[in-house]
Chain A
Amino acid sequence: AQTVTQSQPEMSVQEAETVTLSCTYDTSESDYYLFWYKQPPSRQMILVIRQEAYKQQNATENRFSVNFQKAAKSFSLKISDSQLGDAAMYFCAYRSGINAGNMLTFGGGTRLMVKP
């Protein structure tokens, strides 16, 4: 079974600075997808960014980018120019490429605090 580990329960960053959230995963598969989801306080969880394992290029979405290291099984999220609205729980998630049910395996989460 796949496992996803987020080793940082809490992180803090100064507004306008850059922060990197870590995620490692364990799998024997070569085809899979990785995701970062954001859960703001008292609000619904939303997708931040996704990465297909077969793509070498790191995914980017505006201020959010990933550093995908397939051999190291590492998938970190970089948030540039941090804003107060970035404060949230962030979850890393894994989906098998052969998973017809689209099931996700989540990490334990990292709480990001943004200081004004």
Chain B
Amino acid sequence: DVKVTQSSRYLVKRTGEKVFLECVQDMDHENMFWYRQDPGLGLRLIYFSYDVKMKEKGDIPEGYSVSREKKERFSLILESASTNQTSMYLCASSLGGASGGREQYFGPGTRLTVT
């Protein structure tokens, strides 16, 4: 059974703080993703990684950075949190490769509030 875990379910931070969101998967997946989920907008891709130390920008990377030092762990960093980054953050992982409609497995989400 694939398991994707996120370090916190709820997080409250102050404007300007540096925020780390951690994601760990236990199925040796090559690909890992960070999304933010907002009402009416669905999920929007922030960054993804297809290998250790490799990363690609998604649709909304501004204000975020990521780190993948180990295959199982993918971190999302908010260098200086702002109130418009208040959102639900979802991590996902999947097998690599170009072929096939590979399923993404999601973590439980972190609801971040920036005050």
Contact = CB atoms under 8 A, between A and B. Distances in A.
A9 B58 contact: no
Interface in A39-68: 43-47, 50-52
A16 B36 CA distance: 33
Interface residues of B, number: 30
A44 B7 CA distance: 14
Looking at chain A, what size class is its interface with the partner chain? 20 to 34
A9 B40 contact: yes
Contacts of B58: 103
A100 B101 contact: no
A101 B108 contact: no
Contacts of B45: 103-105
18 contacts: A35-B103, A43-B108, A44-B4, A44-B108, A50-B103, A101-B48, A101-B50, A102-B31, A102-B94, A102-B95, A102-B96, A102-B97, A103-B33, A103-B58, A106-B35, A106-B44, A108-B40, A109-B42
A45 B90 contact: yes
B106 A44 contact: yes
Interface stretch (A70-78, A79-87, A91-99): A91-99
